[in-house]
Amino acid sequence: MNKWRFAFSQRWFGYLALVIGFAIGCVFLSHWQFDRREEAAAEVARVSTNWESDPLQLSDVMPELSEFDVDNKWMSVAVSGQYLASEQLLVRGRPYSGQPGFEILVPFQLDSGRLIIVDRGWVPAGNSQDAPDAVPAPPSGRVDVVMRLKPSEPTVQGRSAPAGQVATIHLPTVAEILNQPTYTGGYGILASESPGVAEMPLAYPKPLLDEGAHLSYAFQWVAFGVLAFIGLGWAIRQEYRLINEADPVERERAEKRKQKVEDRGPTDAEIEDAILDA
């Protein structure tokens, strides 16, 4: 046991504390990845259930202006009314397939007088200006619209927008600009409208039903925590061999390890290195 006394020194206890701290961090990161996977799985389930659902009435899904149930994300709703094209807003900084562009937000006035924001789609940025070269106009007059619901987005610190544009789809900000009773809990992604128009912005595709690699990342963090303890044990063992290299028993073990390496023969990497050296 005296041969291992060095492992109970302050230095090795410090290394142990570092490894334990690292392992605890790995556990927290692993749990975080498991939580992210649960969120991704829930989102996949919502898309699968709600994307192709029969349209419901907006009042049944969002009875209050500021309410939004996350389980209703991507739910189809049918509304009737008219677009307020003169109140249209552009959401800046919206890339699509690597190309910069804007999303088009058009307030839609319901028969009740309330407004709900409809995202009619995406247009590319202009060639010589910080705005689209052209924005397809919505249909005029009375329109029947089917849209898929999404919640309001948060604001982004330090991001601003010029007049007629917004930095994010933060519905309270949009409602303040419009100064009319507006749904601030959620808005709609355009699915269809009748009557239609000849020129339409580009519609965003259905979200991918992919949970991502969160599960594998979670297991990787667990493995990193375990490997930290294995690495500590290996380091202690190496120092033990150095301290006790003069011990007959340890010298015999070292000779056996050396013999095993010689019996194994050179590895492919060692052969390649020898060829390069030659």
What's the rounded mean pLDDT across residues 70-87? 94
Tell me the three state secondary structure of residue 3.
helix
Give me the sign of the Cα torsion angle 73, 76, 80, 83: positive
Check whether residue 169 and residue 232 sit in a common domain.
no
Check whether residue 108 and residue 224 sit in a common domain.
no
- 247 near 3, Cβ under 8 Å? yes
Q: Which domain holds residue 73?
A: 52-194
Check whether residue 63 and residue 188 sit in a common domain.
yes
Model pLDDT, residue 155: 87
231-269 pLDDT, tens per residue? 999 998 888 888 877 777 667 666 766 666 666 666 666
- 218 near 100, Cβ under 8 Å? no
Is residue 21 one of the residues assigned to a domain?
yes
Rg (CA), the chain: 31
Check whether residue 178 and residue 79 sit in a common domain.
yes
44-68 pLDDT, tens per residue? 999 989 998 899 999 899 999 998 9
Check whether residue 139 and residue 240 sit in a common domain.
no
Is residue 258 one of the residues assigned to a domain?
no
Check whether residue 240 and residue 136 sit in a common domain.
no
Work out the mean pLDDT of the chain and round it to a whole number: 88
> What is the domain count for the chain?
2
